[in-house]
Structure 1
Amino acid sequence: CDWLEEQNYGNYAESTVRRYVKQLRVKYKIDKHTKRRQYEAVPELPMGLQGQVDFGQTTQMTTAGSRIKLYFYAFVLAHSRYKYIEWQLRPFVTDDLIRCLQNTFKFLGGKPKQIVYDQDRIIVVSENNGDIIFTQAFQAFRQTEHFEAIECRGFDPESKGKIENVVKFVKSSFARGRIFKDIRSWNNESMDWLQRRGNGKQHNGTKQVPAVIFAEEQPHLQPIINYQPAQEVAIERTIRKDNTVMYQSNRYSVPFGSYDAHGRQVVLKVNDDNLTIIDQQTGEILSEHQISTASGKLIQRSSDRRNRSVGIPKLMAQVVQSFTDQTAAHQFTKQLHQKYPRYIRDQLQVILRLRGDYSQQALDKALEFCLKQHLISATDFKATMEMLPEYEAHLDRVRDELATLPLAEATQAKLEILQPEVRSLEVYAKILKGAHHGTN
């Protein structure tokens, strides 16, 4: 229904669209999968008291035909159900949460007295016998803005069911079936969706429009203090072949195997004397170091070094045992050893590290593809693991499109009897040796 409005096809009653979709489900036998659980009714909270925060992620099709994972932050005022969402291309860290909360407060023109959240690692360091220890950055933000932070268990409808419903609503109403162009357009579309539907349509529970109730709730919000985080410098770098990054004429290590031939980008965050190296795409913290005042030094953690305690034959055996077709795996490792005799340990360890990130089926498919295409290197194997699902999906789409192409009966009959000329492989062998076709 929202999609029809967004595409300017007109305004339709949701009940009308629901009946139409119901008929489609019956006609095309499309099952509707639902999950049911028991809930307990909770009393409505007073105006301006509480907001709830949670995170979600979706996988979307792009305009290029590939798939991309997107991450979003969601906020809802418990009384009016007035919502705010924000998207980005990598998992959220503490700095992202603080930025999103600041944007939320600006969007609302104030802030609630309480914020309810999960015991998430970007907010909470640990639970010390019931006393929550916040991350340093979030604690500084909370104390400056003077709001109460209330932690709760995940998937707890009594504590934060309102925001869990918002996360599901964002996925089903906004993200489902939408094509991703770029993150800026995506965020703009989500803000339009909020105005049109998220906050502009009647809420099923309250039977009120969130935007209307928010107009009454807004004066009860607390004023914003405009927290200024400690100055932190962020610098972009590319991981070097020796699994280090350069900063102020020194090399700082990252875990062995982090290097990617296609250029793996990282962000260096400098806070006082600490250097944090973060994967630009995933948000994963790769390594942390104390900044050295020297110059031309290698600053390396022992945990970042490659494991030299295991012999090459044992490593090769471990790689072979990682695959279902061990004969093919033995062939692959043997060719690796022949091609990279000096770097075989590095090659094998890169493959071994992939076992925890991918399924057995994905590993076996990548091995089969690499042997068939003569891609004999750990870097090519890793790239195959990452790209093969997208490549196979592309081939499936091409086959489906070709199957639906209209062909005249005469053309189809010709294609069925058409036999291409097949030359002997000897012809190509002679050409490669420098001979001309038809002569010796």
Structure 2
Amino acid sequence: MNVLKQHLQATIFTLLERGASQRKIHEVTGIDRKTIRRYQSIFESQRVSDEANSSTAAPTDMAEPVGAQTPPPQTPPLSRPPASRIVAPVKPFNFARSASEPYREWIEQQIRLKRNAQAIYQDLVDQFGFTASYDSVKRFVRALRHVDPEQFDRLEFAPAEEAQVDYGEGAPTRDPRTGRYRRPRLFVMTLRYSRRSFRQVVWKSSKQVWAQLHEDAFRYFGGSVSYVVLDNLREGVITPDLYEPELNRLYAAMLEHYGVVADPARVRDPNRKGTVENAIQHTQNTALTGRRFESLEAQNEFLMHWEENWAARRIHGRARRQVEAMFQEEKPHLRPLPATAFRYFTEVVRTVWDDTTVSIERSNYAARPAPIGSLVSVRIYDTTIEIRDRRTQELLRTHPRHTQPGSLELPESERPFNPSRQTSLALASAGDIGQRTKALCQHLFDAEGRVGHRGMWGIVALAKKYPAWLVEQACDHALHHHLYRYRQVRTVVERLFEQALERLDRAPQLALPLTQEHPLIRPATEYSELFDAGAQHSATSRSSTTGETV
């Protein structure tokens, strides 16, 4: 027999107690009338037994007249219990005895051993000859199993101690590129003490956008906090870890500039930043639901207006205080903003070449004391270049940023002149082209050291595009006129190549006579006989295939 859930049973019994008909109960609950009729009979039998028990247990006092006994006043049942009162669970009516009831004590012991319903059912069949279905055991075990509700500790924070940040979804906004409506990303930072929030929507997120949104929030509040709690998204956290998370370099540098410490939440633990989670939900449900905007600027303007006029003036449900009043208490405790704004940069990893430099945007910068062949982190600012140790982030060198390709930032005193494996290989490849080419490459190494390796390899690579004798001739010309740069040698090679093409164009074109007779050329009659034999062979093959006679 199918059993209704407890809340449906309680609904039927409540309506029956109020005198509702079966038709009315069917309209309210949607339960079949046959089921309602069955529960009505159970309800009536239960009420009869309760009245019999109450009449039997009633005290009989002959000294007091019957008319003096007045029944206690009865209040009509409420449609729903008050919110402030703890509602006791509805006691289920014992209308269906489970087939597992005779084994209650044994099943309770198995539940305490943390065994599941499938294992209990199998042992009931093997040990006690249980004949009912597994579903009956599963329902019985579910009723016996007691699950404690999940509990959370409510934390309190000092003013300006913590802020929480996260992304959500904004209202549909018209995309200027496609003209269609789509949802942007909603950034929210909430101060944990006062619950004051900063909201802004953006189309795309990146490391720099994520950091800039934090800066905008700090300027909006008029100061920063001690630490910020964030989710483990890639813009902020590279490698999630409970004890030593690896933060994004740009994000960590921005927080360090404002004196803020990042505290990434545990993976899959949104309750650690429940304040900002509630703020996002409050924003979506109250401010943005049912709205559309024509631009991001319009939505950000609306969010700012809504925060100032409604969200900040609300009375917080748990604190029972106005958010704006709590923010005015918290504002003097915020950390003051630095005098200068944070300088954003792009970080790349480069290898230190054998000339002790790193290559950035087709220019070279000195990287000592970083060893040759090691990897270093390079931060590219608008006007400067910073070379740092990749492991410790210690600053090694600072250089002005060059915009012209081919620039070199390396003092003469730091240039290595001792030959390396690359030196020997470059000179050997130049020797394969010619002795003058090798002499020019040797002169480049003697004058510039290992920095000249690039020029040497450039001269060697010219032989892949132009004839080797032209490269050799150009190197001889360069040595004679003291031209020791790769670009100068390349210019000479290109000029010599153009001159060679011009000479070919001016050379007279000899018209070769058409040879009519030659020992290798057969007479025309033989070719005619060959063509006739081929045509006859083709006709014979076609007739044999189709079955026709020729």
TM-score (norm 2): 0.35
Structure with greater helix percent: 2
Greater Rg by CA = 2
TM-score (norm 1): 0.43
Structure with greater strand percent: 1
